[in-house]
Amino acid sequence: MHLILLGAPGSGKGTAAADLVKIYGIPHISTGDMFREAIKNQTELGKIAKELIDNGKFVPDEVTCGLVKDRLSQDDCKKGFLLDGFPRNINQADKLNDILKELGMKLDATIDLDVDHKLIIQRIVNRRLCSKCDASYNLVTKKPKKDGICDVCGAPLIQRKDDNEETIKTRLAIYSEQTEPLIEYYKKRNLLITIDSNKSAEHTTNLIVEALKKFN
């Protein structure tokens, strides 16, 4: 399966992606993870990305598209992939079409996770990540067994600098302006699946799997 996963920040893309890559045996390609790795390694790209991300902004298209093309060219993507966080706008979607054509690939479906923005804000301000293994928690819906400590490896939990209400609202505004037009873009191409992601992660995954049956 060659899939795109759309959804505003905090819509549950990460959790849904983890489920889908296990079910379909395809790699999860997250531009967010790519940039976080660059930030962690303090590369020049990482330094630029950190400043932009900390202020709720996105990395320039030309940089992101080059990164994605290189990743899709790797052997593990020959049987499929799940793109998460890309494309973010119409320009990136057009460039992705060119990339897929060049690589001899064809998109099967685009999954849009539809969530109320008030719920998104609540989810993100309560999100915590493990400082060592990146395991994700939520102080409301997925609490760690011990406050402030990762269940998996025992390392301290942290809150990302950009997981605050002001930054989230900025990111949601940018998403509405730049990324939401992709919903109509892929709908016109009969590639769109809209999923109600206001409920549990398990419920969301079940809806996606059921909807994808007609694309198999």
Tell me the sheet residues that pair with 195.
Answer: 113
Exactly one of 50, 71, 88, 123 is catalytic; which is it? 88
- Burial of 50-88, coded b for 16+ CB within 10 Å and e otherwise, reads beebeebebbeeeebbebbbebbeeeebeebbbbbbbbb
Which of 36, 57, 132, 160 is the catalytic position? Answer: 160
One-letter amino acid at 131 equals S
Active site residue 50: no
Q: CA-CA distance, 102 to 90, in Å (whole number)?
A: 19
Q: Is 160 an active-site residue?
A: yes
Identify the active-site residue in 50, 123, 127, 128.
127
Kindly give, in sequence order, each residue whose CB lies less than 8 Å from that of residue 178, ignoring residues fewer than 6 positions away.
Answer: 58, 88, 89
71 classed as catalytic: no
Catalytic residue, chosen from 50, 71, 95, 171, is 171
DSSP 47-64: HHHHHHHHTT----HHHH
Q: Is 189 a known active-site residue?
A: no
Considering Cα of 178, then 116, then 190, then 202, what sign does the dihedral take? positive
Q: How do strand 81-84 and strand 28-30 relate by DSSP bridges?
A: parallel
Verify whether residue 123 is a known catalytic residue: no
Show which residues are catalytic. Answer: 13, 88, 127, 160, 171
